Amino acid sequence: MQIHVVQKGDTLYKLAQKFDVTVNDLVNANGLSDANTLVIGQSLIIPAGATTHKVLVGDTLWLLARRYGVTLQELAAMNNISNPALIYPGQQLVIPQAAKPSIEVNAYTEKFGAAGIAIVEEIGPYLTYLSPFSYRLQADGSITPLDDSAIINAAYQTRTAPMMVITNFENGTFSPDIAHAILSNPTLQQSVIASILATMKQKGYTALNVDFEYVPPADRELYNAFLQKLVDNLHPQNYLVSACLAPKTSANQTGTLYEAHDYAAMGRILDFVVLMTYEWGWSGGPPRAVAPLNEVNKVLIYALSVIPSQKIVMGMPLYGYDWTLPYVQGAKWAPTVSPQAAVNRAHQFGATIQYDEEGQSPFFQYYDKEGREHVVWYEDARSVQAKFNLVKAYNLRGVSYWVLGVPFPQNWYVLQANFTIKKLV
């Protein structure tokens, strides 16, 4: 696989000729709905159907080694090249095939019924876990039921392990009061744990994910103790236990979102943690990349200082946002946009896609039919490849996606090109 950035004058036919692939290969790898519309600055996956590369004008052995993720020495040795400077256009090079690392892949879904089943059937082959969102805990210890049986069955058909998600989510936000009610009452906790176990057995769940957000900072130790109780009760039944962590860059980071999330303790107690490394750019905030690589990396550096790498699952977004400018705090929130829709919008309004090198994220600006200026930040093949490079560099357990139902075919192609996805069922 290669990633090509569309230049002026590019067409799919020309690119197919240049890279020795078919137009259909390009259409399928990139999920293109219209083969005739390309946008300058758009990233395109060039699928590598073979293990050879025909040298083009401007190619160097060093550049090709970087492109294919091998060393210069490996590439030279494979092709009996004694002088790496001597390659020529038209020469066929054999590309060494490195073993792909194995990772676990989780994805949350809010889609149920027929639509949810269709998504699981399509994406399930790329997943280790499917996490229906969510079972909502109430202050009295009861749990709001979820109509998830159909998508759980679909998950098993693709050998995807269903992971039960419990939250303190209520009325569109996370409730500190619900979290406190549960965490401060040991009797209530036993009732909650009994309900969780009953649900997991009845529905066929194999793991539990705890997504408690905005936990009161004073309840930090109570939260750690609750997670330990969950592990003590679920491990004897062979269930895995994980939790979501707010994206911290230090142990003493302030703010209600962060303070009760004890990276060191949770890394010690749990089987793995899911870092919510997204939403720097969010619907109600000022425009910026949703998951800028430089910010994600800061969180990983801190997490790795207190949590083993094989317990860390890095969060990844499948979406972007379209902000109307100028940004006004408290005004209308930016709507979500899929990567596919973002590129289509850039084409519709004649925008050129740009790329932020520091954040490793694509963006573009345009004026709508009413003359209002917009800026769109989203994800593409380049941005997800950059994140996968971090997963490999740090030897992380895997990645976790928020949220299924947002079309992003490139992501799944790049994921499979980089990794072997572990299956637990």
N-term to C-term CA, the chain: 29
For the chain, what is the radius of gyration of the CA atoms? 23
Helix (H, G, I), strand (E, B) or coil at 242: strand
pLDDT value at residue 96 = 83
Burial of 390 (0-12, 13-18, 19+ CB in 10 A): middle
Cα–Cα distances in Å, from 322 out to 173, 196, 287, 289, 332? 22, 38, 8, 11, 11
Contact at 8 Å (CB) between 251 and 213? no
The whole-angstrom separation of Cα 93 and Cα 143 is: 59
Contact at 8 Å (CB) between 288 and 377? yes
pLDDT value at residue 313 = 99
Q: Dump pLDDT digits (tens) for 217-266.
A: 999 999 999 999 999 999 999 999 999 999 999 999 999 999 999 999 99
The structure tokens 């696989």 sit at 1
Cβ within 8 Å of residue 139, ≥6 positions away: 177, 178, 181, 182
Residue type, 66: R
Best CA proximity match to 318, nearest among 380, 237, 271: 380
Tell me how far the alpha carbon of residue 380 is from its chain's centroid. Answer: 11
Among 213, 259, 295, 379, the one annotated catalytic: 213
pTM for the full model?
A: 0.91
Cα–Cα distances in Å, from 212 out to 14, 25, 147, 166, 287? 51, 43, 21, 8, 26
Cβ within 8 Å of residue 330, ≥6 positions away: none
Q: Dump pLDDT digits (tens) for 93-149.
A: 888 877 799 999 999 999 999 999 999 999 999 999 999 999 999 999 999 999 999
Cα–Cα distances in Å, from 299 out to 130, 223, 249, 271, 274? 24, 21, 5, 19, 12
Best CA proximity match to 48, nearest among 109, 97, 8, 89: 97
Contact at 8 Å (CB) between 103 and 396? yes
Residue type, 311: K
Handedness of CA 29, 293, 173, 341 (dihedral sign): negative
Best CA proximity match to 105, nearest among 58, 143, 161: 161
Residue type, 21: V
Contact at 8 Å (CB) between 303 and 275? yes
Q: Locate 164 and state its tokens.
A: 């039960």
The whole-angstrom separation of Cα 64 and Cα 220 is: 50
- Tens digits of pLDDT across the chain (425 residues): 889 999 999 999 999 998 888 999 999 999 998 777 899 999 999 997 557 888 999 999 998 887 777 788 988 988 989 998 889 999 988 888 777 999 999 999 999 999 999 999 999 999 999 999 999 999 999 999 999 999 999 999 999 999 999 999 999 999 999 999 999 999 999 999 999 999 999 999 999 999 999 999 999 999 999 999 999 999 999 999 999 999 999 999 999 999 999 999 999 999 999 999 999 999 999 999 999 999 999 999 999 999 999 999 999 999 999 999 999 999 999 999 999 999 999 999 999 999 999 999 999 999 999 999 999 999 999 999 999 999 999 999 999 999 999 999 999 999 999 999 999 99
Cα diameter, the chain: 74
pLDDT value at residue 49 = 56
The whole-angstrom separation of Cα 364 and Cα 7 is: 15
pLDDT value at residue 20 = 84
Tell me the domains of the chain and their CATH numbers.
2-94 (3.10.350.10), 102-318+385-421 (3.20.20.80)
Cβ within 8 Å of residue 232, ≥6 positions away: none
The whole-angstrom separation of Cα 295 and Cα 293 is: 5
pLDDT value at residue 67 = 77
The whole-angstrom separation of Cα 392 and Cα 374 is: 35
Best CA proximity match to 363, nearest among 352, 371, 350: 352
pLDDT value at residue 51 = 72
Q: Locate 35 and state its tokens.
A: 């083969």
373 is catalytic: no
The whole-angstrom separation of Cα 39 and Cα 45 is: 14
Q: Locate 10 and state its tokens.
A: 């590019």
